[in-house]
């Protein structure tokens, strides 16, 4: 019994989530491409195009450059594995499968580890374009994460003050949320942090301003330049899943409301209903941050992006966090 | 198993092994290597047995020359005693383990050098000195073992005396180390003159009864001397020269063991077990914390800009010593609080972990030098192509030292972060800044190793079995320890911290209820 509830259910849940999220995230990519095409008065590909792309890439011959070392082949697998592991800690409309006290650090760690593995894989190809892409990726990563971390820790700390059973866990968002604090100051702070998280999400999925490490036209796909066949398929899938996960975080923090309560659902059906509703919200967030943002803006230079993230976003994060923390500190 | 019976063999075996080495060497190269491996292997077995015995049955008191340390009619200890509590036993385990692997590694690594009978003698003497420091309960005995260890390491740093840098580093290390040792000796002389005893436990009693200015002066000398030995900033400069110049098997022992046994362990022993009740823990703690913070920042920051691989590792050792000292300092300043206890547990845990990680990294650096003959990171681009196993082990070691979760460095650093955050947030910030530098330094190395292979690198290959196995064993130890961090912490490190804090227990073991 103990084994069943501690091992079998979580594993089954994780596998189910993985199957669902891979499909949903690829479908979202199709929708995204369609929407951007419509915004530019094109018809665009069919909705399921990313799925076809994935299958086609997976069936193609994989070419390994002769300057590559073992990490070139290991990195796509490792980054997808990390993304799958991360699903167990991601809030998806309900408390994450492996939620425990302090798991926000695991969440942030695994999310950065995906980028780290991707970067390691791309420098392992030995291609200078890939190296430039990796260097940009690191610069961007180092600049974007502090703003997010400051914001998320503040929010979790503030929510913890409202009384939750596992402080600093990704499950706390479903017990209390940031809007419940209710004072005008915290409301303004939350809006500022929403802005911070939107920019963070855009830079995490490298949309619009932040399409820098992969910059197709400029450095020939950067980090992905040498990848082909199966490995490219894995990396594309990882990227899609990561976009879903990162957007899930934003949704969980700012729009955590579920619908199962309104229909009186319980147990598994409630989880499924919440998951579907959560997916809708993720799509909505990604529509604003990814589709619109990438359709209406171009790419920044890497120095501009770093400047923007530190001088604008981090500052906003600081102000928002202080506003939210204010009435507790004083 | 009775710990008191096997304890002497911890000294007998390496002593006999070292002194018989010149004779065994007459039988040729193979015999010499086999003898060195055998001796350090047996020492490792004895060390593990002692750790087990102490873990199961509590501290061991061993008196040289009699059944108990007291003379006829005398109510105080008059003989040399060895007192092995859980902390000492853990250090013994660490020393014997890493030393065994370093000796094993030397077979392949030192193949092209001459004078190897002296080399193996010195290595075993070095191990002997460290073991002696860990087990002794007598202050002068401690000094003797400290000097045995130090002199062996001076000789080993300058072992390759046909290179200019070996000689230079050896001289620097020797001058600085001798000054530091004489500080310690001066401290001991002052204490002896004032209190008339050299037994640590009994000295603790006398100190508590009559704390004098002389005792404080002696303490200042101890702290100064031992911070030198542990490579704390601003007196770390010898370390950054000595560790790169020594043969890599020796750097692994110097960086993994010597600076901890001769520096941090001795400091902890003297501060807690001797001075525990007689000085203001808070003041001493803050002095250590200040040095720890300087060490943390300088060590890790200097590691970022190095181009020499071993120098980078040496500076990183300085940085990691900063963490250990920080834990120790918080343990002193927050004596008796929860944060203090966690800090000591973290410091001890990190000592053990860092011994494994840094030994691993230096052994890898040795393998690279052995294959390519260069330590310059700029020439080592793309090493992962031709030395896959070695670079993978480096990846493990680097990730562990940064403190990435599935590896052992995470738990120990976490304990230090957690205690420093509850104790004083500024210290936690400094610790985090140190880690940021450390991450930058190692990511930079990884960036080089996994890049485009340079011409020079294409000729390299993974090292032979005797050099690869120690690396593999250390990497496995790091991974396995990383899987059970909190079990190790609860079952070993927290009890160790409690033993160290419990000065009365240390004294009671010595006095045996007398």
Partner-chain contact B384 A127, CB within 8 Å: no
- Is A126 touching B (CB cutoff 8 A)? yes
Partner-chain contact A131 B451, CB within 8 Å: yes
Nearest CA distance, B411 vs chain A (angstrom):
13
Residues of B in contact with A106 (CB under 8 A): 405
* Mutation for A interface: B441, B451, B482, most A CBs within 10 A: B451
Partner-chain contact A126 B382, CB within 8 Å: yes
Asked if residue A202 lies in contact with residue A289, where contact means CB atoms within 8 angstroms, the answer is yes
* Mutation for A interface: B381, B389, B452, most A CBs within 10 A: B452
Asked if residue B110 lies in contact with residue B369, where contact means CB atoms within 8 angstroms, the answer is no
Q: Which residue has 């374009």 as its token pair?
A: A129
Residues of A in contact with B443 (CB under 8 A): 138
Q: Which of B266, B284, B191, B186 is nearest to B229 (CA)?
A: B266
Respond yes or no on whether the N-terminal peptide bond of residue B199 is cis (omega within 30° of 0). no
Nearest CA distance, B486 vs chain A (angstrom):
15
Secondary structure element (H or E) that encloses residue B83, with its range: strand B81-84
Beta carbons within 10 angstroms of residue A254's beta carbon: 20
**85-124 in chain A: CB under 8 A from chain B:** 106, 109, 120, 123-124
Nearest to B451 among A106, A126, A138 (CB): A126
* Residue B463 falls in which region: left (phi positive, over 0), alpha (psi -120 to 50) or beta: beta
Asked if residue B323 lies in contact with residue B350, where contact means CB atoms within 8 angstroms, the answer is yes
pTM confidence score = 0.92
* Tens of pLDDT, residue by residue, chain B (514 residues): 577 888 899 999 999 999 999 999 999 888 999 999 999 999 999 999 999 999 988 888 888 888 888 877 778 888 899 999 999 999 999 999 999 999 999 998 988 888 888 999 999 999 999 999 999 989 999 999 999 999 999 999 999 888 888 899 999 999 999 999 999 999 999 999 999 889 998 999 999 898 889 999 999 999 999 999 998 888 888 998 898 899 999 999 999 899 999 889 999 999 998 998 888 888 999 999 999 999 999 999 999 998 899 999 999 999 999 999 999 999 999 888 888 889 999 999 999 999 999 999 999 999 998 888 888 888 888 888 888 899 999 999 999 999 888 899 999 999 999 999 999 889 999 999 999 999 999 988 888 888 888 888 888 888 888 889 999 999 999 999 999 988 899 999 999 998 888 888 888 888 874 4
Q: What is the pLDDT of residues A188-237, one digit of tens each?
A: 888 899 999 999 999 988 888 888 777 665 666 777 878 888 898 998 89
ipTM rounded to 2 decimals:
0.87
Residues of A in contact with B391 (CB under 8 A): 69
Token pair, residue B398, equals: 């680097």
Partner-chain contact A138 B382, CB within 8 Å: no
Secondary structure element (H or E) that encloses residue B63, with its range: strand B60-63
Beta carbons within 10 angstroms of residue B3's beta carbon: 22
pLDDT at B401: 92
3 state DSSP class of B70: strand
**132-171 in chain A: CB under 8 A from chain B:** 134, 138
Partner-chain contact B382 A67, CB within 8 Å: yes
Nearest CA in chain B to A116: B443
Cα–Cα distance, A146 to A314 (Å, whole number): 7
Residues of A in contact with B435 (CB under 8 A): none
């Amino acid at each position: 019994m103990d084994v069943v509830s501690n091992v079998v259910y979580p594993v089954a849940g994780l596998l189910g989530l993985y199957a669902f999220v891979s499909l949903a995230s690829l479908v979202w990519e199709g929708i995204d491409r369609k929407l951007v095409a419509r915004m530019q008065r094109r018809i665009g590909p069919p909705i399921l195009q990313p799925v076809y792309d994935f299958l086609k890439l997976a069936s193609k011959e994989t070419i390994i450059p002769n300057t590559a070392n073992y990490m070139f082949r290991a990195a796509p697998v490792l980054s997808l594995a990390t993304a799958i592991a991360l699903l167990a800690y991601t809030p998806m409309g309900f408390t994450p499968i492996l939620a425990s006290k302090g798991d926000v650090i695991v969440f942030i760690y695994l999310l950065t580890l995906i980028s780290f593995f991707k970067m390691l894989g791309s420098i392992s190809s030995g291609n200078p374009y890939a190296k430039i892409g990796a260097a940009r990726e690191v610069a961007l990563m180092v600049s974007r994460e502090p703003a997010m971390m400051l914001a998320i820790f503040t929010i979790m700390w503030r929510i913890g003050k409202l009384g939750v059973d596992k402080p600093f866990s990704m499950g706390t968002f479903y017990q209390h949320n940031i809007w419940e604090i209710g004072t005008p100051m915290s409301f303004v702070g939350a809006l500022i942090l929403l802005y911070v998280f939107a920019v963070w999400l855009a830079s995490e999925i490298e949309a619009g301003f932040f399409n820098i490490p992969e910059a197709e036209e400029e450095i020939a796909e950067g980090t992905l330049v040498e990848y082909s066949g199966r490995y490219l398929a894995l990396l594309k899938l990882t990227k899609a899943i990561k976009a879903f996960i990162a957007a899930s975080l934003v949704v969980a923090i700012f729009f955590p409301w579920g619908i199962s309560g309104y229909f009186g659902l319980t147990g598994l059906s409630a989880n499924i209903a919440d998951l579907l509703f959560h997916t809708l919200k993720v799509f909505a967030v990604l529509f604003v941050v990814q589709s619109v943002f990438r359709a209406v803006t171009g790419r920044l230079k890497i120095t501009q992006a770093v400047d923007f993230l530190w001088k604008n976003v981090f500052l906003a994060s600081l102000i928002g966090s202080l506003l939210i923390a204010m009435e507790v500190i004083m | 198993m009775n710990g008191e019976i096997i304890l002497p063999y911890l000294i007998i075996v390496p002593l006999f092994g070292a002194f018989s080495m010149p004779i065994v060497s007459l039988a040729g190269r193979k015999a010499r290597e086999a003898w060195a491996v055998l001796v350090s292997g047996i020492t490792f077995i004895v060390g593990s047995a002692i750790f087990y015995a102490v873990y199961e049955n509590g501290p061991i008191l061993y008196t040289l020359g009699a059944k108990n340390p007291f003379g006829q009619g005398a109510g105080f200890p008059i003989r040399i005693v060895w007192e092995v509590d859980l902390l000492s036993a853990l250090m013994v385990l660490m020393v014997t383990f890493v030393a065994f692997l370093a000796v094993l590694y030397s077979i392949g690594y030192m193949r092209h050098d001459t004078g190897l009978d002296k080399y193996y003698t010195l290595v075993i003497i070095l191990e002997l000195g460290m073991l002696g420091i860990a087990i002794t309960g007598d202050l002068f005995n401690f000094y003797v073992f400290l000097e045995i260890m130090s002199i062996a390491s001076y000789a080993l740093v300058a072992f390759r005396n046909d290179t200019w840098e070996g000689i230079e580093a050896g001289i620097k290390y020797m001058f600085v180390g001798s000054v530091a040792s004489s500080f310690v000796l001066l401290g001991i002389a002052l204490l002896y003159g004032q209190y008339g005893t050299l037994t640590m436990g009994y000295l603790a009693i006398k100190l508590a009864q009559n704390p004098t200015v002389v005792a404080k002066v002696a303490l200042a000398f101890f702290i100064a001397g031992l911070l030198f030995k542990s490579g704390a900033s601003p007196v770390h400069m010898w370390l950054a020269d000595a560790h790169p110049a020594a043969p890599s098997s020796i750097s692994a022992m110097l960086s993994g063991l010597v600076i901890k046994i001769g520096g941090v362990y001795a400091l902890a022993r003297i501060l807690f077990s001797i001075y525990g009740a007689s000085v203001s823990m808070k003041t001493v703690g803050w002095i250590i914390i200040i040095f720890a913070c300087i060490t943390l920042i300088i060590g890790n920051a200097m590691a970022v800009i190095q181009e020499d691989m071993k120098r980078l590792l040496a500076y990183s050792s300085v940085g990691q010593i900063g963490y250990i000292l920080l834990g120790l300092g918080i343990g002193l300043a927050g004596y008796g609080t929860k944060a203090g206890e966690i800090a000591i547990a973290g410091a001890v845990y990190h000592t053990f972990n860092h011994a494994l990680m840094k030994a691993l990294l230096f052994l890898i650096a040795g393998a690279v030098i052995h294959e390519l003959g260069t330590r310059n990171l700029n020439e080592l681009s793309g090493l992962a192509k031709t030395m896959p196993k070695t670079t993978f082990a480096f990846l493990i070691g680097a990730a562990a030292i940064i403190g990435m979760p599935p590896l052992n460095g995470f738990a120990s650093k976490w304990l230090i972060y957690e205690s420093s955050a509850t104790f004083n947030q500024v210290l936690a910030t400094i610790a985090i800044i140190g880690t940021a530098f450390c991450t930058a330094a190692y990511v930079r190395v990884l960036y080089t190793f996994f890049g485009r292979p340079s011409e020079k690198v294409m000729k390299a290959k993974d090292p032979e079995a005797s050099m690869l196995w120690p690396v593999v064993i250390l990497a496995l130890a790091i991974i396995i320890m990383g899987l059970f961090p909190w079990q190790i912490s609860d079952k070993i490190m927290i009890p160790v911290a409690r033993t160290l804090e419990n000065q009365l227990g240390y004294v009671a073991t010595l006095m045996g209820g007398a």
